[in-house]
Chains A and B, each alone.
Chain A
């Protein structure tokens, strides 16, 4: 019988939650690395027992951890993220030039074909690659050296590269996103990049056709249709059907189009999930009611999913890397909140249960479907 393993990163440690295919009864292991901020954990699709984890601390900096036994034991890998050459400056919040400085790893994306290859999205925004299982890191500096780099600015959470999407049909194609620079795509394995932000509109940018400066919160892709991308922007839920060449708004009848997460059903490439958040100043659900919204039509028409979710007095947020879907026949959907709950649906969102209710604030959720 299949089983699932959730990898949960929180402000104060990591947790591994496991269940069989029914996904009703869960075992909770952890905290791993208690006291440390665990920004992201993700397993290799080639070797599911190999898990990479980003461990961070305001005191002690960045550590990259690796497990080769499904999270039971861990070993620290290299943490030397050295920009390629003299990194120069980007814009600071006030528009002045500010030196590029490494702060932390936001996202780890293991290769689809090699368990030893993994990509890291870091703050200040850059993309790194390891080909030796995390023992050493090299910057793919074509991205940061893109001509627009000096104009990039941090979002409120820092200038983070938070999304890395690998195209399963084209090993040379990759899409990344940066707050608040926008989305970029490479078609040559990371050597050169182009901004893919046409059609995005952001009220804080005076030039409506600006090439960069958009605060992209997250992008999702269905592996069977890598040309279709779904974006939760600061405001607006957007869609592209030409690998980011152009975007159009699919917010439709959402009660608010602000939010952080977005994901796609494992077996239905036109079924999308978002968690609308009231506004950029009030990072919690509207009316204290936690609702996942699902579109079965690729956007525009959305339905609220509330069964099992708190519908009063709920003022949590769901951060950008804190939603995931499993690939069991009835697609499982999972998300974690800043209030420490991890919710699971074993029926594609129709009903929900809280697996755990009292973890530290959840930063990231990934799920593995295991034999």
Chain B
């Protein structure tokens, strides 16, 4: 099954990839953080390494994932995301932590 997922990017990554606030990516099969990020990076290779490590796929420390008023930052990458995200009703929010100067 193919799902169209809505993803919101932080300003720095929109600038880097030349994208708007919301991006739509197509995910085949199970909709998880891993499959969403795989699809996002495949569609926009410039984002590789900016959200998660290129090789370990570990989330970068100052990046957080939110959706449906839940903090998904510590969710397992292969867990299903909330149904509303999988159905394209809500966005997965990729957020840069409030830090730095």
Contacts and interface: CB of A to CB of B under 8 A. Distances in A.
Interface stretch (B26-34, B48-56, B69-77): B48-56
Given A35-B11, A58-B100, A59-B97, A76 B16 contact: yes
B46 interface: yes
Given A79-B48, A79-B49, A57 B55 contact: no
A26 interface: no
A92 interface: no
Given A79-B54, A82-B55, A57 B46 contact: no
A62 interface: yes
B60 A63 contact: no
A174 to B, nearest CB: 27
Contact of A76 (B11, B46, B54, B100): B46
B54 A59 contact: no
A208 interface: no
Interface string A25-61: 0000000011110000000000000000001011111
Contacts of B15: 33-35
Interface residues of B, number: 20
A62 B51 CA distance: 11
Nearest to B10: A59
B12 A63 contact: no
Given A36-B12, A79-B48, A59 B55 contact: no
B31 to A, nearest CB: 24
A63 B46 contact: yes
A80 B49 CA distance: 8
B99 interface: yes
Contact of B16 (A63, A80, A82): A63
Contacts of A76: 16, 46
A79 B11 CA distance: 20
A35 B10 CA distance: 12
Contact of B50 (A33, A34, A35, A63): A63
Interface centre among A33, A35, A61 (most CB of B within 10 A): A61
Interface in B9-37: 10-13, 15-16
Given A35-B11, A80-B55, A59 B49 contact: no
A208 B12 CA distance: 47
B60 A61 contact: yes
A59 B16 contact: no
A354 to B, nearest CB: 24
8 contacts: A35-B15, A36-B16, A59-B12, A59-B97, A59-B100, A60-B12, A60-B16, A80-B55
Interface of A: 33-36, 55, 57-63, 76, 79-80, 82
Closest 5 CB pairs of A and B: A60-B50, A59-B96, A59-B62, A76-B46, A80-B54
